[in-house]
Amino acid sequence: MIGWAGRGLLSALLCAAVVVGTGGTASAAFTDAETGSTTVGTATVAGVTNQKGTTNGCPATGSTVSLTWTASTTARVTSYRLVDNGTTRATITGRTSTSGSYTAPKTGGSHSVAIVAVTDYGWTASVTVGSFTC
């Protein structure tokens, strides 16, 4: 057990610790600086033009859809997706590509066809070619 004298000494030490541990106002100074300019540009992706499509009818195995177009004028286009009802059916590589084909599934319904230009930075431009029904 700690007697009255020990308790007094302990109290004095605790008070001293609180007084010593009390800090003043904190401050900091920064001497390094960074200067420069940032340019933020905006761009658009040009879709294909003069798009045309044909099918070989509606055979039991599915329709062959053949598409032609004039290539996108966007310099960083790397490929074209041929899309049927929202699903990519073929990817044609090369910015200057102007034709491609795919087999549309035999669904007994309508097919909406689009050509999507894709850039190397992921931006796209979609152009609807048209639709056909089997």
Beta bridge pairs of residue 93: 79
Task: Give me the helices (H) in 3-126, please.
Answer: 4-21
pLDDT in the model for residue 52: 95
In tens, the pLDDT along 69-89 reads 999 999 999 999 999 999 999
Instruction: Quote the Cα angle for 28-33-34, to 5°.
Output: 140
Instruction: Go through the domains of the chain in sequence order and give each one's CATH number.
Output: 49-133 (2.60.40.10)
In tens, the pLDDT along 103-112 reads 998 877 889 9
Task: Give Cβ neighbours of residue 55 (< 8 Å, ≥ 6 apart).
Answer: 63, 64, 65, 66, 104, 132
